[in-house]
Each structure stands twice: as structure tokens, then as C-alpha cells.
């Protein structure tokens, strides 16, 4: 689910809903940050309603990761005035990650590239400021982190994976460049799905329990 939102006073003065828990640090945050949080939880609530038939909203853990209702798993992202969320059954998925990013300028792409891309990825760029590919790679790695964090329970940076391939149909493949856990080893390949929402790039990584130790892309379901 995705939505546009506003951070104007008229929007924020409206009740967020009795079931959306607003953490103290969000309540004290700037209007834009509060709006991002509420919009993301609203998207998650609608995704959960379509999944389970019940309107519920994720809470927030001490590490600020979403806490999904029992039996579900999901991910939330926002960029600019757009929020997006996905939800699935935790009996089927051990990891779901979603990310959305606004278009990069060439200057932003040049600045981000050394931080987000490995040396191999940098060498494959058509130009040093390939804004679309740099933005796609950045977003894909954000989705991968969100999908794997509940399993590996550790933070890892952008250089822990690399984009191996992608195609205009909206699919691609990430490969781990280092060991993250006994289940997730260097060289394992993880599929991703992406699309363009207006000018934004949205990516998603879906990892099923049945496939968590398999490194072949064909075993993953992409949709």
C-alpha cells in the first residue's frame, strides 16, 4: 500500500486513530517526521487489513523497528510526500523489506555512489552519475537490510551486498559480499522486485522460510 501525505498543521491536528501508538519521540518530532510516521502506519494498517481482515497497526521496538502483530511481518518506507508499506504472513515469510526513494540528481548520485556501491558496482556504471541505477541500488540495499534484519539481528552496511543484475521488467538480483549469519553467507543471491511510482523508485525483497538457505534466484517468488 502507498499513499501521499501532507505535513501541514491541518493534517497533523487530525486524530491519527485510536490504535496507532505514537511514541514520545515522534510526538516531540518536527511536523514532517510526525506526518511520515503516521502515513507509514496508515499504509501498514491497510496492508494488514487486506491480509488479515482486521485493522491493526504496527508498534515500535526500542531499536525503532516496527513491531508487527502476531502472525504477520512487514516493512514501511517513506520519501518526500509518499509512504509505502507491505505486509505478509510470518508463517510464510521470514523477511520482507520495502523501500521508496525520490529521484536523484546527478550531483546527489555522485555523492551517494561511493557510500552505497561496491567497487565492482562502481565499475559497471555507464557514467559516474548514473542517477537511476545508483538510486535503484541504494533502494534495493535498503530493502535487503529491512528483510534480513529480523533474522540476522545486526546492522550491516551497503557494502555487505551488491546488485548483480537487473532488467526493465522490474526484477533484479542481489549478492551478499560477506557473511551475515550462519544462514546468510557470502555469495548467496537474493532476488528483488522494483517499480516506478510516478517519479519514485520502489523496491521490495521477499524471503520465504522455505527458501532462506537457498541461494538460487529461481526459488524465490517475485510479485
Per-residue pLDDT of the chain (223 residues; tens, 9 = 90+): 999 998 865 445 444 555 788 999 999 999 999 999 999 999 999 999 999 999 999 999 988 899 999 999 999 999 999 999 999 999 999 999 999 999 999 999 999 999 999 999 999 898 888 999 999 999 999 999 999 998 898 999 999 999 999 999 999 999 999 999 999 999 999 999 999 988 899 999 999 987 765 443 333 332 2
pLDDT confidence of residue 18: 56
pLDDT confidence of residue 126: 80
* pTM over cut 0.85: yes
pLDDT confidence of residue 7: 80
Host H or E run for residue 75: strand 72-79
For residues 108 and 115, give the distance between their C-alpha atoms in angstroms, rounded to a whole number. Answer: 11
Residues 176/178/182/187 CA torsion (nearest 10 deg): 40
Task: Judge contact between 68 and 90, C-beta under 8 A.
Answer: yes
For residues 83 and 103, give the distance between their C-alpha atoms in angstroms, rounded to a whole number. Answer: 15
pLDDT confidence of residue 16: 56
pLDDT confidence of residue 221: 31
For residues 49 and 16, give the distance between their C-alpha atoms in angstroms, rounded to a whole number. Answer: 17
For residues 187 and 160, give the distance between their C-alpha atoms in angstroms, rounded to a whole number. Answer: 10
Which residues, other chains included, contact 119 with Cβ-Cβ below 8 Å and sequence gap of 6+?
none
Amino acid at each position: 500500500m502507498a499513499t501521499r501525505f501532507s505535513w501541514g498543521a491541518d493534517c497533523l491536528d487530525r486524530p491519527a486513530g485510536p490504535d496507532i501508538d505514537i511514541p514520545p519521540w515522534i510526538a516531540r518530532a518536527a511536523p514532517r517526521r510526525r506526518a511520515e510516521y503516521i502515513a507509514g502506519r496508515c499504509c501498514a494498517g491497510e496492508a494488514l487489513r487486506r491480509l488479515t481482515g482486521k485493522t491493526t497497526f504496527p508498534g515500535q521496538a526500542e531499536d525503532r523497528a516496527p513491531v508487527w502483530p502476531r502472525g504477520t511481518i512487514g516493512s514501511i518506507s517513506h520519501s518526500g510526500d509518499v509512504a509505502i508499506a507491505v505486509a505478509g504472513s510470518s508463517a510464510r515469510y521470514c523477511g520482507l523489506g520495502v523501500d521508496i526513494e525520490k529521484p536523484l540528481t546527478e550531483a546527489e548520485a555522485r555523492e551517494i555512489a561511493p557510500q552505497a556501491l561496491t567497487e565492482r558496482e562502481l565499475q559497471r556504471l555507464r557514467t559516474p552519475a548514473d542517477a537511476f541505477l545508483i538510486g535503484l541500488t541504494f533502494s534495493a540495499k535498503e530493502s535487503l537490510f529491512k528483510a534480513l534484519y529480523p533474522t540476522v539481528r545486526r546492522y550491516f552496511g551497503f557494502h555487505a551486498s551488491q546488485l548483480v543484475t537487473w532488467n526493465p521488467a522490474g526484477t533484479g538480483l542481489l549478492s551478499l559480499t560477506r557473511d551475515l549469519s550462519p544462514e546468510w553467507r557470502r555469495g548467496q543471491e537474493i532476488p528483488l522486485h522494483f517499480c516506478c511510482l510516478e517519479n519514485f523508485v520502489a523496491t521490495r525483497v521477499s524471503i520465504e522460510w522455505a527458501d532462506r538457505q537457498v541461494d538460487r534466484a529461481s526459488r524465490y517468488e517475485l510479485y
